[in-house]
Structure 1
Amino acid sequence: MKFATTVLLTSAIWTTSALAAPRAGFGVPPKAPGDKNGALAAEQSTSADIEYGYNWAGVIHTTPPATGTYTAASATFTVPEPTATDDSSGGKQGASAWVGIDGGTYRNAILQAGVDFYVEGGTKNYDAWYEWYPAYSNDFNLSISAGDIVIVKVVSSSPSQGVAILENESSGQSATQTLSADPSTATLGGQNVEWMVEDYQSGSSDVALVNFNKVKFTGVQAETSDGQKIGTDGATIYDIQQNGDVLTNVTIISDTEFDVSYEAAQ
């Protein structure tokens, strides 16, 4: 990514921060969940827990099955066209869609890859990227445009080795990057998998969440060390809440599909 990211989750997941391209992952010491935005609400759904955080919207498994750990996560989505909101004042607005292993309740490392979409100076921009926190992220050498259908997958072959793969089905381009823990102590635990649309920070300032309309995740799948394949069932939903406004709406469609929709502040 091109940006820094601050993540505020609920009582189970502490506030963390990630720097991007250079993006340094969850590098800022954690705060208590209410420090940034006051107490966060949580509610129950018949299909999944719904919780609110500062800048993650999507689906996360916060614990692995009893018989294994998470070793892969993948999904397909269509890159949205970002639209600046009325209160932009000409500044940067953005969001990022990605898949990852760890980084939620397990913050020692995170293996993730995805696509940024943002508006800056009236120009719409798109970047495909990969990262193994706490090392900096890098961009894939791929062209990305609004409407492109991309497949993203991250795989850990061991706690200290992994691969990030991004395929642009619309252009026929694909890229694969082998990564390793850097430093060597930044190993994965296989405790979390997530599929997210993320708001973020640039430097020390918050970037306004861009109007991305909707990101539809399909083919949602996690794999475990004992061969299980897991979708959205039993996962926790996160919606973005900032200054009392809920800015996203996550809708689970099936075990392999969900939508993240942008909601304008009231």
Structure 2
Amino acid sequence: MRWQTLLPLFSFPGPSFSELTFTTVHTTGGKLVSASGLPTLKNLRANNPTVNSNNWCGSVNYAPIGRQIRLVHGYFQHPVCEIRNGMKTFPQAVAAWVGIDGDTWTDSLLQAGTVCKIDNSSGVVTNEAWWQWVPSGAYTISTLPVAEDDWFEVTINTTSPSSGEITITNLSQRYTYSVTLSGGPTLARVDADWVVERPYFGKTLSGFATFTDVWFEDTYAELLPGTGTIGVLGANQYQIPGMCTSMEWDDRHLVSWSLQN
């Protein structure tokens, strides 16, 4: 996740972004998928290989050779964020998201999720939903409310390497947002991501707030051609040393948690 600036989040500088077009649909009171039906997990299974990162904490799995990822899905709970003591970089922020590419394929990344941002002067926490097609900047979804502990469902469905649809539902508040995209930067569609991130603002890495545990649930990616899915078993398990650790539970569940000062 990379915000171009702190305030004007709706501009795409540079000619490489001019072809991206999209339409949005926003509904309220739609069909509710009850978060109470999500499983409660009590144990961890830690067999995935671990990889250190300066800003990703979560699972990234990969399409088998000769296959591509058509769709990626996951539920997660937006965390409660607090200032990390001893860290002088502000704003402090935590983003949780689901995405396609950005790991082995670094030219582009299609992602959507939530972010908490803590103001350095007032300590006020801002919670927002967003989406991004890297290398362009992130779009804040002002019509989708976000509160601490809200459950979200994110589905990213690609119809080609440069087009697709993002659907984000706040299950706790019964709001759904969808955006249809075309003309985006070309995806390889080889990486499936479920990540808690220390985001960038412009070219500067934000401070990393502390946060309550983020469980990703019903994590899967659908493959092309034909049928088949992958989950998080066998994925690379990204960690931010000294700040965030992640582990898989099984093929459909993982958790990322904050390491305190």
Whole-angstrom distance in 1 between the partners of 2:183 and 2:134: 8
Q: Which residue of 2 aligns with 1:192?
A: 191
Distance 2:192 2:180 in 1: 19
* Deviations, residues 121-148 of structure 1 (Å, cap 9, x unaligned): 3111111111222333212220100011
* Partner residue, 2:86: 87
**Residue 46 of structure 1: how far off its partner (Å):** 6.4
- 247 and 23 in structure 1: CA distance in 2 versus 1, 3 angstrom threshold: farther
User: Amino acid of the residue matched to residue 252 of structure 1?
Assistant: E
Determine which of 230, 243, 249 is the counterpart of 2:245: 249
Using the size of structure 1 for normalisation, the TM-score is 0.77
Residue 88 of structure 1 and its aligned partner are, at CA, apart by: 4.6
Whether the 8 Å CA contact 2:110–2:132 is kept in 1: the answer is yes
1:177-230 deviations in whole A, cap 9, x for unaligned? Answer: 011234xxx211111111100002323433211001211111111111122121
Match of 2:218 in 1: 219
Q: How does 1:55-94 map to 2 (within 5 A)?
A: 55-61=55-61, 63-88=62-87, 91-94=90-93
- Tell me, yes or no, if the aligned pair for 2:117 and 2:125 is still in contact at 8 Å: yes
Specify the SS of the correspondent of 1:106: coil
Unaligned runs of 5+ in 2: 14-44
Instruction: Kindly report which structure 2 residues correspond to 1:59-208, keeping only aligned pairs within 5 A, or say none.
Output: 59-61=59-61, 63-88=62-87, 91-120=90-119, 121-140=122-141, 141-182=143-184, 186-208=185-207
Mapped to 2, the partners of 1:23 and 1:2 lie a distance apart of 13
Contact 1:57-1:260 within 8 A present in 2 as well:
yes
Q: CA shift at 1:91, angstroms?
A: 3.5
Per-residue deviation, residues 53-103 of structure 1 (Å, max 9, x unmatched): 111000001x31134201111110111110112225594211100011111
Find the aligned partners of 1:248 and 1:135 in 2 and give their Cα distance.
26
Work out the CA distance in 1 between the residues paired with 2:165 and 2:252.
22
Question: In angstroms, what is the RMSD of aligned CA positions?
Answer: 2.4
Among all aligned residue pairs of Structure 1 and Structure 2, give the percentage whose two residues are the same amino acid.
Answer: 25
Residue 108 of structure 1 and its aligned partner are, at CA, apart by: 2.1
Conserved? CA contact 1:2–1:23, under 8 Å: no
What letter matches 2:195 in structure 1?
Answer: M
Contact 1:217/1:259 (8 A) holds in 2: yes
Measured after TM superposition, the shift of residue 23 of structure 1 is 8.5
Aligned-partner Cα distance in 2 for 1:76–1:250: 16
Q: Which has the higher contact order (CA 8 A, sep 6+)?
A: 2
Q: Aligned pair in 2 of structure 1 residues 22, 181: CA closer, same or farther (>3 Å)?
A: same
Letter in 2 for 1:103: G
Q: Note if contact 1:90-1:122 (Cα within 8 Å) is conserved in structure 2.
A: no
What SS does structure 1 have at the residue aligned with 2:82? coil
Say if 1:132 and 1:181, in contact at 8 Å, map to a contact too: no
Structure 1 match to 2:9: 21
**Structure 1 136/201 Cα, relative in aligned 2: closer, same or farther at 3 Å?**
closer
**Alignment partner of 1:145: what SS?**
coil
Is the alpha carbon distance of 1:74 and 1:2 closer, same or farther for their aligned partners in structure 2, counting shifts above 3 Å?
same
Aligned residues: 224
Residue 30 of structure 2 is matched in structure 1 by none
Aligned-partner Cα distance in 1 for 2:11–2:254: 27
Counterpart of 2:239 in structure 1 is 239
Cα 1:88–1:47 shift into 2, 3 Å? closer
| TM-score, normalised with respect to structure 2 | 0.79
Mapped partners of 1:119, 1:157: distance in 2: 36
Measured in 1, the distance between the counterparts of 2:206 and 2:66 equals: 40
Counterparts of 1:132 and 1:2 in 2: how far apart (Å)? 10
Distance (whole Å) between structure 1 residues aligned to residue 104 and residue 65 of structure 2: 16
Contact 1:73 1:193 in 2 (8 A): yes
